[in-house]
Amino acid sequence: MQIILATMFQTDPSQSLPPLDAGNASIWHHMSDALHQSIYRVLSLLISILPGMLAFVVALAIFTVIGMALSALLRHALTAARFDDRLARGRSSGEWAPSTSPTALIARASFWGCILLGLMIGVSAFDASYATAATLPISFLPYLTHGVSAIFLLIAGTLVARYLARTVLIGAVNAQLQYARFLSLGVKWMVVVLTWAMVLDHLQIGGKVVDLAFGILFGGIVLTLALAVGLGSRDLVSRSLESHTERTGEHNAPPPAAPTTGPGDSIQHF
Amino acid sequence: MTTADPIPDLTAASAPPGAGLLVLLAAMTTEQLESVVANLTAYFPAEGLIIATQEALLADSYPALRIVAAPETKASWTLTGADFVNAYQLAEKFEARGILMLGPESASLGSSALRELAGAVFAVSTDLAVPHYELPPYAGLVNSAILYPLTRALFASRVRFPLAIDLGISLRMAKLLAGAAQRFSKLNQSEAPLWPVNEATVAGYTIGQCDVGPRVQPTGLDLNTILPLVTGALFSDIEAKAAFWQRFRPLPPEDTQRTKPQMPSADVPAEIAPMLQAFRLAYTNLQEIWSLVLPPQSLLGLKRLNATDAAEFRMPDNLWARIVFDFLIAYRLRTINRGHLLGALIPLYLAWAASHINITASGTSPEGHIEAVAAAFENDKTYLVARWRWPDRFNP
């Protein structure tokens, strides 16, 4: 083992080869050559990527600095011009929250716009470097951009899932459905599963397995929810139908003086 | 700038106006329309009336009346911005001296009520005449729980029904309200409710309150739809007028000469079980959302309430005031989606309503409890102002 390691790290195999027979010497020679070539290729690859990476980092850093400067400049200029006050005059609800004032929003948007521009230019520079070096696999860069868009897709899906889950939860609670949380979770997981399926599909991971798994999972969730809502809402539906029938029957009758408008029979909320 | 109150006594209304009263009527049936016209003509000279209605009223039946067509609005239960714009445009067109706006089901108002409201329009130094309805027990609870206490605490106004659906307004008040409504229509929200009392208070116009007796309220209102709509509109208006209400303004003294109609106590307490069930269901499911809005102290109060028996169920007035103020702050800061926020307020309101019914069933007069709630809002106004100015310092 010591001999093998020593051979691997030798620059000139002829200097320290043990006095073995000629066949062994030839094998060691070939192995050493192969290893040297591998190391050379790896180092060459790294060296060819380095300018691209450096260009990416420099572009990002420059545009971050530009973004910070532009953001600060806009913030000062808009504050000096009383932009928030002028805008509030034209609105029905005049005052903005401090964290979401138009000035703060514009300053933040300009900063993140610069960052995004820096990213795009950095990736372009990286792309140019890769094209000239032509040593990276051809699918790496598109995969990188797909990865970024997949992250955005995941974030958007998570936000939509949370929004819909809350909407369903509050609506179901106010409709006095006992399984409100279950319904909300079902909707949330439906959107989450859909999002992950889209992300994996976007990244071209899994192929048809993802489609199949998504179909099974989504269908399962929908069926479960349909059964739960269908079985759990029998009373609600029958009450609704009964009240509709009563209303139809009393169509010609005079309207009641004190109508009910919510929980509690003799209560008028308005 | 002077504020609107103290409320002048309008019960001894001035003499009937000679001419130029524009009466803008909401959509109603022909029978109701005829009843309203009969009530109006019982007191006002027909030649002085201009009646604007969306319905086809036969001019032959009332030859002495001047009947004009009012533009159709989508509003079905309250006065909206579009109504105020129409009122001002018609008043200018027909050179009316004052405007009487009557909402849906206004046929249930007596002729004396119409006289009071219209008389106030022509009275000296009154720009806005707001009715004080005599409602049955457990009626108008959203108004008693949220609209009245908030308006009283923030705008220092004693108007008991800030979102009244019948109003008497002067021409300059109509101009002010039309201007405010046009801001809404620019945002494509012309059907949103407007807050005349707040507008008048901020503008320094005078407000009068008239006792109009009983009134049938519009029917078919769904709490889950209307509460977020009304509360959201009020919260938006409060947000827009923050510079005004953050300054301390003393509540004007109550008019002792005026005898306020007392809400009668109910013979049989209303059934509170469905409301408590709604609150308890929400308590088990909406904790996550409430905890984003309410401080731990309020959450603890709700926990105690949840563990209380139905017979002992009482929501402390200061807890309710804090809840409404915290929701108002969260609305302003957009802590969560505004639709979600106002939806999450509904079960808490139902808890307050259940508590109100329990309290009044134990002997307290409904009006007395509502006044106590309004006083709690006033006392806690400093909390609202502090959180409004420095929201992060008080972040729950």
| Domains in chain A, CATH or no CATH each | 139-249 (1.10.287)
pLDDT digits (tens, 9 = 90+) for A205-231: 877 887 888 888 888 888 887 887 777
- The answer to whether residue B285 neighbours chain A at the CB level (below 8 Å) is yes
| pLDDT digits 0-9 by tens, A85-101 | 777 665 544 445 555 67
Q: How many helices (H) and strands (E) does chain B have?
A: 16, 7
Inter-chain touch A169–B286, beta carbons under 8 Å: yes
Does B347 fall in a domain? yes
Q: Which of B281, B283, B292, B329 to mutate to test the interface with A (most CBs of A within 10 A)?
A: B281
- Interchain contact B385–A (C-beta under 8 A): no
**pLDDT (0 to 100) of residue A240:** 61
Using the Cβ of B143 and the Cβ atoms of chain A, whether some distance falls under 8 Å is answered with yes
Residue A126 has which token pair?
């990286």
**Whole-angstrom Cα distance, residue B354 to residue B360?**
10
CA gap B396, B393 in Å, rounded: 9
Same domain, B190 and B289: no
Residue A142's Cβ-side half-sphere holds a number of Cα atoms within 13 Å equal to 6
pLDDT above 80 for B77 = no
Is residue B168 situated within a structural domain?
A: yes
Q: How far apart are CA B173 and CA B161, in angstroms?
A: 18
Which of B84, B108, B239 to mutate against chain A (most A CBs within 10 Å)? B239
CA–CA dist A178, B49 (Å, integer): 55
Q: Are B149 and B373 in contact (CB under 8 A)?
A: yes
Is residue B128 located within the same domain as residue B188?
yes
- Whether B335 maps to a domain, the answer reads yes
Q: Report pLDDT for A169.
A: 93
Does one domain contain both B205 and B297? no
Residue B189's pLDDT band, with cuts at 50, 70 and 90, is: low
- Phi, psi angles (nearest 5°) of residue B209: -120, 130
**Distance in angstroms (rounded) separating the CA atoms of residues B120 and B18:** 14
Question: Do the strands B49-53 and B21-25 form a parallel or antiparallel pair, or are they unpaired?
Answer: parallel
Q: Which helix (H) or strand (E) holds A255?
A: none
Find, in chain A, the residue whose alpha carbon is nearest to that of B348: A174
Distance CA B373, CA B380 (A): 11
One domain for residues B185 and B281: no
Q: Which of B66-75, B178-187, B219-228, B276-285 has the highest mean pLDDT?
A: B276-285
Tell me the backbone φ, ψ of residue B348, rounded to 5 degrees. -70, -40
Q: Are residues B290 and B184 in the same domain?
A: no
Q: Residue A120 belongs to what H/E stretch?
A: helix A102-133
Structurally, chain B folds into a number of domains equal to 2
The answer to whether B289 contacts chain A (CB < 8 Å) is yes
**Does residue B354 contact residue B270 with C-beta atoms inside 8 Å?**
no
Taking CB atoms and an 8 Å cut-off, how many pairs form between chains A and B? 139
The runs of H, that is alpha helices, within A134-207 are 140-174, 180-202
- My answer on whether B234 and B302 are in the same domain is no
Tell me whether residues A176 and B270 touch, CB distance under 8 A. no
Query: Which positions ≥6 away from B381 have C-beta within 8 Å?
Result: B153, B154
Q: Is residue B151 part of a domain?
A: yes
Q: Hey, which of A233-237, A260-264, B212-216 has the most confident mean pLDDT?
A: B212-216
**Does B286 lie at the interface with A, CB-CB under 8 angstroms?**
yes
Write the CA distances from A36 to A9, A16, A137, B108, integer angstroms. 9, 16, 22, 100
Q: Which of B141, B266, B333 sits opposite A97 (nearest CB)?
A: B333
Instruction: Tell me the chain A residues in contact with residue B162 when contact means C-beta distances shorter than 8 Å.
Output: none
CB contact under 8 A, A269 and B184: no
Contact by Cβ (8 Å): B87, B24 = yes
Among B77, B240, B277, whose Cβ lies nearest the Cβ of A176? Answer: B277
Min Cα distance B390 → chain A (Å) is: 10
Same domain, B203 and B290: no
Identify the weakest region by mean pLDDT among A117-121, A225-229, B178-182, B312-316.
A225-229
Cα–Cα distances in angstroms (integers) from residue B273 to residues A264, B279, B345, in the given order? 7, 10, 18
A166–B337 CB contact, under 8 Å: yes
Give residue A163's pLDDT: 93
Residues of A with CB under 8 A from a CB of B: 90-95, 97-100, 163, 166-167, 169-171, 173-176, 178, 180-181, 184, 255-259, 261-270
B166 shares a domain with B94: yes
Domain span at residue B88 reads: 21-245
Kindly list the residues from chain B whose CB atom is less than 8 angstroms away from the CB atom of residue A261.
221-223
Residues B233 and B93 in one domain: yes
**pLDDT surpassing 50 at residue B50:** yes
Q: Supply the pTM of this predicted model.
A: 0.74
Please state the ipTM of this predicted complex. Answer: 0.81
Residue B315 lies in a domain: yes
Do the Cβ atoms of A175 and B340 come within 8 Å? no
Q: How far is B160 from chain A (nearest CA, A)?
A: 13
Dist CA A200 CA A195 (whole Å): 9
Q: Per-residue confidence at A111, pLDDT binned at 50, 70, 90?
A: very high
Same-domain status, B174 and B92 = yes
**Residue of A85, A170, A243 for testing the chain B interface, max B β-carbons within 10 Å:** A170
Average predicted confidence (pLDDT) for chain B: 81
Instruction: List chain A residues with CB under 8 Å of B187.
Output: 91-92
DSSP assigned state of A100: G
- Domain-located, residue B261: no
| CA closest to B181 among chain A residues | A92
Contact B224 A175 (CB under 8 A): yes
pLDDT of residue A237: 64
Report the pLDDT value the prediction gives residue B4, as an integer from 0 to 100.
43
Q: How far apart are the first and last CA of chain B?
A: 37
Q: Is residue B251 part of a domain?
A: no
CA-based nearest residue in chain A for residue B352: A269
Q: Do the chains contact at A269 and B236, CB–CB below 8 Å?
A: no
3-state secondary structure of B25: strand
On whether any CB of chain A is under 8 Å from the CB of B243, the answer is yes
User: Cβ separation of B333 and A99 shorter than 8 Å?
Assistant: yes
In a 10 Å sphere around its CB, with 0-12 CB exposed, 13-18 middle and 19+ buried, how is residue B124 labelled?
exposed
Q: Is B6 contained in some domain?
A: no
**Are residues B200 and B52 part of one domain?**
yes
pLDDT tens digits along B110-156: 778 888 888 877 766 788 888 888 888 788 888 899 999 999 999 88
Q: Are B165 and B130 spatial neighbours (Cβ–Cβ below 8 Å)?
A: no
Q: Phi and psi at residue B9, in whole multiples of 5°?
A: -80, 120
CATH number at residue B148: 3.90.550.10
Strand order in the sheet with B66-69: B66-69, B49-53, B21-25, B98-102, B166-170, B128-133, B207-213
For A266, which of B184, B243, B270 is closest by C-beta distance? B270
User: pLDDT for B218-274, tens place per residue?
Assistant: 776 788 888 898 899 899 889 888 888 888 878 777 766 665 555 555 555 668 888
Which of A93, A265, A268 has its CB closest to that of B271?
A265
> B169 and B307: one domain?
no
Q: How sure is the predictor about B83, in pLDDT bands with cuts at 50, 70 and 90?
A: confident
